[in-house]
Amino acid sequence: MTASSTPRRLLELAGLAALLGFAGAAAASNERATTSGAAIYRTGILSSGQPLQAEREGGIHVLGGAAACINCHRRSGLGMKEGRRTIPPIAGSYLFHPRAGTEDDLDLPFVEGMKGDRDPYTETTLPRAIRTGIGADGNPLSYLMPRYALDDAEMSELVAYLKTLSPGAVPGVTDTVLHFATIITPDADPVKRQGMLEVLEKFFADKNRFTRAISPRLRSSHRLMYQVNRHWELHVWQLTGSPDTWQAQLHAKLAAQPVFAVLSGLGGRTWEPVHRFCEQESLPCLFPNLDLPVVAERDFDSLYLSQGVLLEARLMSGELQAMRAKTPLRRVVQVYRVGDVGAAAAEALEDSLAEEGVTIVKKGLSAGRNLATAFRDVAPDDVLVLWLRADDVARLGAPPAGVSQVLISGQMSGLEQAPLPAQWRAVTSMTYPFDLPDKRRVRVDFPLGWFRIRQIPVVAQQVQVDTWLVCGIVSDTLNRMVDTFVRDYLVERVEETLEHRAVTGYYPRLALAPGQRFASKGGYVVRFAGPSGAHVVADGDWIVP
Amino acid sequence: MGVRHSCLAAFAASCALALSAQASPAVTRSTVEYAVPAVTLVRDDGKRVSLPQEMDDGRPVVLNFVFTSCSSICPLMSQVFGEFRRKLGSDAGQVHLMSISTDPEQDTPTRLSEYARQFGAGADWQHYTGTLQASLTAQRAFDVYRGDKMSHAPVTLMRAAPGKPWRRIDGFVTPDELLDEYRQVLAAK
């Protein structure tokens, strides 16, 4: 198992340590220790460059990334719950807090597995626990806890880092308000934008309807957890200009208005600068509405509902390989608009077929160029792949003579609402990275009823239902976190609990786990049932390509 | 399904786990008969296979359930399998080690074979994925399903030969203990 941290972060920490050097040698040395400790914790690499070594019961040896603390105690240091097993928090404040007479005396945010009735760890007992597996109370720790071979300097580095993990004041969280942002890129579809914002605004208004103006600060008591009912405030971060300016805009917006997390959002051709911004700021960026998310599974802060058109490219690749098993596949012609997300999808499909001996032709049309130009030299036994939006699909005209196999992206063209002309329907299969309309009806009726009661016009159903779904996921997760507002912990809790959701909107199932960044992993291949209308029929079962 | 291990045993196992957060949980052993469900799984080499056929090739079977994104107990269980295999030495080819994914939508054959490589799996230790339904059917048949993949518990199952009962080990065992258990099961054959 590799730790999900990136070396870049450690370099940033190192850079920070270098800057702080001006503040004095002691501070700098402390920062250096913390940086080395972070490397041990997150990647299992010692400051000597050697891998961290440890041993478990039964002589089982663990090494490097597999031995890193982050695997079980998570990036937040707040531990996790796995079935009946609870991995305790090891953030400094949870290790060193004085023994509490009652849980009421325990002035720490509630985390599963925290222990109030235990002697605090000391400079002696903590290294002993890490090296020999004997806890502060003298009892052995769980069999899951390895016994680490760390020298004194390495131990101090690790302990220095554990101390920095303690939850403290979090930007974007006050005693009375939780601040969220939603990010919209300038090239986002204006209709989807309006639809998404209406859902977000109504959800926040609902959430705040019962919030008192000022809540007193409450604490957990005897496991009856009183939660401060904070007002939820939404900040719409509308980006402008070209993508290379977005990161700077976002850093400025965050500095002007700190937020706890980024919720939903809407992108167009690229989301990369937003993804990078969230990683740099360690800011959770939860489930934006995108056709083309950023695939970087070693990154931490961004979670996505699915891989969008990249998932469709894999579904198409599977279809093409199945076709090829039956009949020779001479050539695949992919048509997309230059500058739209279809370009990246076409490239992904081409890459996936690189070793299959299939000729792939990519026809990228610049905006405004007539679609017919892409079909001029298409031969009858070519397979056509269309990465086109609804407006292009409506203007397709007649299919090229003799073509009998066409694949189209449902995500881009509007799913069952795609205005695919009748002549194309007989020869076209659509990748459909959602549950089928009949199967999702009950799950989608609930948000649609919610929209109706609140008089939200349904202008972009899938985006609006996804937005509502994401608000629910974040709201439920925060409720379970009580008042432990730690950004990494929010991401970790979503990873661990998403699978329990029964209400999953357009998706048959949503699930994540440590290191997983895409919640829905499959789709269908469908065909239109008739020459008109929005009835689609699946060619087979749910496919996870 | 045959005789299930008694509710009392299951209750004792859950109590043992719940009460022993600080120490090694007690390991419970039981002898159980399971009907192997006729599901199709996908092996880590991409081949579609029948679960009963994979289990009934004549060799003893040692089975567990893992998923590749699991960062706490699964790597440990896989390490125990790897070490068990190493300790078997030249006998390793005589036994079929099987690990079935409880997260089949994430665990593609490619991911599984990468995972298997990390733990030194060879031809005699194979990992299996498939549809979500097929994995759930297998998990339920061996009574390891606990509501979702994050709630799994360490369970090891072994059987000397087709038609023989399964030895079920709930809890963490060391490679030596597993080897000992395996030899007992073979001797009982």
pLDDT at A13 over 70: no
Q: What is the pLDDT of residue A307?
A: 98
Higher pLDDT residue, B154 or A4?
Answer: B154
| Angstrom distance (rounded) from CA B184 to CA B180 | 6
pLDDT at A2 over 60: no
Q: Backbone phi, then psi, for A481, in 5-degree steps? A: -80, -5
Q: What is the pLDDT of residue A58?
A: 82
Render pLDDT for A83-93 as a digit per residue (tens, 0 to 9). 677 899 999 99
Cα–Cα distance list, B5 to A353, A489, B164, B169 (Å): 50, 39, 15, 11
Q: Which residues of chain B neighbour A519 with C-beta distances below 8 Å?
A: none
pLDDT at A530 over 90: yes
For B147, name the nearest residue in chain A, comparing CA atoms only: A500
Half-sphere exposure of B86 (CA within 13 A, CB side): 12
Of A85, A141, A513, the CB nearest to B69: A513
Amino acid at A234: L
Question: Mean of the pLDDT values across residues A292-318?
Answer: 96
- Regions of chain B where pLDDT drops below 50: 1-23
Asked whether residue B176 is assigned to any structural domain, the reply reads: yes
- DSSP code per residue over B78-112: HHHHHHHHHHHGGGGGGSEEEEEES-TTT--HHHH
Answer for the pair A238, A184: CB distance below 8 angstroms, yes or no.
Answer: yes
Q: What is the pLDDT of residue A229?
A: 76
CATH for B66: 3.40.30.10
Q: What is the pLDDT of residue A103?
A: 62
Lowest mean pLDDT among A207-211, A409-413, A514-518: A207-211
> Token pair for residue A144?
């899951």
Instruction: Determine, for residues B149 and A82 on separate chains, whether the beta-carbon distance falls below 8 Å.
Output: no
| Angstrom distance (rounded) from CA A467 to CA A534 | 23
When pLDDT is cut at 50, 70 and 90, the band that residue A104 belongs to is low
When pLDDT is cut at 50, 70 and 90, the band that residue A228 belongs to is low
Question: Chain B contact for A298, CB < 8 A?
Answer: no
Render pLDDT for A120-162 as a digit per residue (tens, 0 to 9). 999 999 999 999 999 999 999 998 999 999 999 999 999 999 9
Question: Mean of the pLDDT values across residues A293-304?
Answer: 95
CB-based contacts of A331, cutoff 8 Å, min separation 6: A358, A359, A360, A361, A379, A381, A382, A383
| Angstrom distance (rounded) from CA A433 to CA B92 | 43
CB-based contacts of B110, cutoff 8 Å, min separation 6: none
pLDDT at A385 over 90: yes
Half-sphere exposure of A170 (CA within 13 A, CB side): 28
Asked whether residue B2 is assigned to any structural domain, the reply reads: no
Render pLDDT for A428-485 as a digit per residue (tens, 0 to 9). 999 999 999 999 999 999 999 999 999 999 999 999 999 999 999 999 999 888 889 9
Q: Which residues of chain A neighbour B173 with C-beta distances below 8 Å?
A: 58
Question: What is the Cα gyration radius of chain A?
Answer: 26
Residue B22 belongs to what domain range? 7-188
CB-based contacts of A264, cutoff 8 Å, min separation 6: A182, A196, A200, A286, A287, A288, A289, A466, A467, A470, A471
pLDDT at A216 over 90: no
Q: With left for phi above 0 and alpha for psi between -120 and 50, is residue B87 left, alpha or beta?
A: alpha
* pTM score of the predicted model: 0.89
Q: What is the pLDDT of residue B10?
A: 37
pLDDT at A12 over 60: no
Q: What is the pLDDT of residue A223?
A: 46
| Angstrom distance (rounded) from CA A160 to CA A126 | 12
Answer for the pair B95, B61: CB distance below 8 angstroms, yes or no.
Answer: yes
Instruction: Determine, for residues B152 and A83 on separate chains, whether the beta-carbon distance falls below 8 Å.
Output: yes
Of B17, B21, B150, the CB nearest to A499: B150
If one counts every other C-beta atom within 10 angstroms of the C-beta of residue A437, the result is 16
Asked whether residue B1 is assigned to any structural domain, the reply reads: no
Domains of chain A, with CATH numbers?
A: 7-164 (no CATH), 177-305+440-505 (3.40.50.2300), 309-432+525-538 (3.40.50.2300)
Site from B111, B146, B150 to mutate, A interface, most A CB atoms within 10 angstroms: B150
CA distance A407 to chain B (A): 24
Q: What is the pLDDT of residue A8?
A: 47
pLDDT at A399 over 50: yes
Answer for the pair A162, A217: CB distance below 8 angstroms, yes or no.
Answer: no
Q: What is the pLDDT of residue A26?
A: 67
Chain B residues 63-102 with a CB less than 8 Å from chain A: 67, 69-73, 75-76, 79-80, 83
Asked whether residue B64 is assigned to any structural domain, the reply reads: yes
For B83, name the nearest residue in chain A, comparing CA atoms only: A60
| Angstrom distance (rounded) from CA A65 to CA A104 | 38
Count how many domains chain B has: 1
Q: How many CB pairs under 8 A join A and B?
A: 113
Report chain A's mean pLDDT, rounded to a whole number: 90
| Angstrom distance (rounded) from CA A105 to CA A98 | 10
Render pLDDT for A15-40 as a digit per residue (tens, 0 to 9). 444 444 444 566 677 788 889 999 99
For A71, name the nearest residue in chain B, comparing CA atoms only: B71
**DSSP assignment letter at A291:** S
Q: What is the pLDDT of residue A433?
A: 98
pLDDT at A538 over 90: yes
> Token pair for residue A492?
């970790």
pLDDT at A356 over 90: no
